[in-house]
Structure 1
């Protein structure tokens, strides 16, 4: 398989758009539906590495700086704080008000997005009680950006900017949904799963900028070390790479098997993606002109989330069906 270098001008399906839903060069179908993870079959082989018992995992995030692995589970809704140095040790459990969709680290805490409750929970790294930030609507993702917190609010189709717990501005325009926000350096991109597109966000200017189609069913995104945002196209089965400044589609690499979750190891330039249709996790070296597969491991069933510890290279995979947290040392 080879990557397909592409530029905006070459895409027959359309490139930038700031228009509303009635005049949209990015829209694929009349009534778009967000792509979701492929349903996993029963595992054919045992998962690699070790598996820690857990309820259904809804999100994972690792932070080597603090030495913490954060795991969101659904029964009961909680964030579990593991020590990366000893993941087999019992975690600290912090209760939250509802199912967590995304986790991220920032400002010495874990940000847990809870769309069903209209909240972003700030979980102390040492445990204890979470502090809830009320967000009007469905906050699908939240990331730290300096002293600010950027929140993708799905139903309001906005990126909200909070500072000191107060709403500074809501950035809207041209989105059908705001599902994930990626911030790297001074660049910010929002993923719209309904439009299956990515858009630049001018946080200081308060505007949604140019947008590009992201395959046929984009689901998850992460920044890499090379000024790009990597996106999983679950419907078409591909790993996409967009430069962020300017926003251009640079690579489209076929990855069959139900590509879904993604995490990035900056120290090793490895993008780890899960394949829920085949219960696998694959590590791609993304330094060159096309991704190069370096690792492939069997996983727990329904591997809907993945995280990587850049310090050790250890990979963590979460089963959404309650079959545990998998720990793999490549």
Structure 2
């Protein structure tokens, strides 16, 4: 009888032991909850650099091609040329769930209106493409193909000139897409995992757990994926082809925002529980702290200019945005 119980337990772990539910080896609980930033305490130290007034900002991005800082507050995008100081605003049909930049083009996923919006940062002109399913992230793979993560159903679909050509399904909470030369990786915030996807067929490869509550990720110049584990308070580094965790480093303070400076090999991480930002040198065998600076409150997002090293930290509670050149 004991042998039968053990056999069933092993079968349950591997296959679900005759359950009708689809098996997901990365799903460890039936109740999945995405990690969130901490609620920042009141500031006790003046922020470094210069602080500019701004409404609550949900997303921050920087395009080195056009020297444009992008701040998203609800459906409003503020585009600032950091060389000339010229500023433009454009209003999207709804608030974006995420922003993705490439070569002067901004892609915004708009789940509330079932669209993705493309903004030319040189002209601030925006066009939209309907994508049913509540898109939460969009990234171009090449001039013809765009990968889109969808909320309902929880899938990643590949569009060629707007037409679906492949789909990866049986995800839980795809939140961010990270294209590489050969594959596409999806960060799932509900299963807190990274999974490779073949962008031609939609086939999924073997995924890996990314800590206890992964929230944000970015690729580096070594072909790795850097990931913030907000719940586990760590900075993780994964090699790709194959997907293997190479580094995990403790980052106390509820890390959340993440930006990468490829010129200086610095990963900038905001700490929402302490109103700080830390710059880690990631060129060696493990991250090394190089900078630690006080920030505005609720520093949920950060972007970096790789030419100058300037970092832009934005507050999600209306404390403005901060400009620092370390």
Q: If the length of structure 2 is used for normalisation, what is the TM-score? A: 0.90
Question: Any idea what SS the aligned residue of 2:207 has?
Answer: strand
Cα distance in 1 for partners of 2:223, 2:183 equals 9
In structure 2, the residue matched to 1:9 is none
In structure 2, the residue matched to 1:191 is 187
Shift of 1:129: 3.8
The answer to whether 1:232 aligns with 2:232 is no
Range 170-179 or range 204-213, more displaced: 170-179
* Alignment equivalent of 1:274, drawn from 270, 273, 289: 270
Cα distance per residue 1:91-127 (max 9 Å; x no partner): 2001112222221223542111222222211112134
In structure 2, the residue matched to 1:205 is 201
In structure 1, the residue matched to 2:41 is 41
Shift of 1:187: 3.1
Cα pair 1:95 1:129 within 8 Å, conserved: no
Cα pair 1:272 1:282 within 8 Å, conserved: yes
In structure 2, do the counterparts of structure 1 residues 26 and 128 end up closer, same or farther at CA, with 3 Å as the change threshold? closer
In structure 2, the residue matched to 1:8 is none
Shift of 1:67: 1.3
The answer to whether 1:257 aligns with 2:253 is yes
In structure 2, do the counterparts of structure 1 residues 20 and 102 end up closer, same or farther at CA, with 3 Å as the change threshold? farther
The answer to whether 1:115 aligns with 2:149 is no
In structure 1, the residue matched to 2:7 is none
Larger-Rg structure: 2
Cα distance in 2 for partners of 1:66, 1:163 equals 26
Range 89-98 or range 318-327, more displaced: 89-98
In structure 2, do the counterparts of structure 1 residues 20 and 66 end up closer, same or farther at CA, with 3 Å as the change threshold? farther
Cα pair 1:92 1:127 within 8 Å, conserved: no
Aligned residues: 309
Q: Superposition pairs for residues 238-317 of structure 1, below 5 Å?
A: 238-317=234-313
In structure 1, the residue matched to 2:77 is 79
Question: Any idea what SS the aligned residue of 1:264 has?
Answer: strand
Question: Any idea what SS the aligned residue of 1:210 has?
Answer: coil
Q: Superposition pairs for residues 6-45 of structure 1, below 5 Å?
A: 22-45=22-45
Cα pair 1:262 1:274 within 8 Å, conserved: yes
Cα distance in 1 for partners of 2:234, 2:20 equals 27
Name structure 1 gaps, 5 residues minimum.
1-12
Cα pair 1:81 1:127 within 8 Å, conserved: no
Cα pair 1:62 1:69 within 8 Å, conserved: yes
Range 115-124 or range 209-218, more displaced: 115-124
Cα pair 1:83 1:91 within 8 Å, conserved: yes
Q: If the length of structure 1 is used for normalisation, what is the TM-score? A: 0.89
Cα distance per residue 1:12-47 (max 9 Å; x no partner): x99xxxx99653332232211111111111111111
Shift of 1:272: 0.7
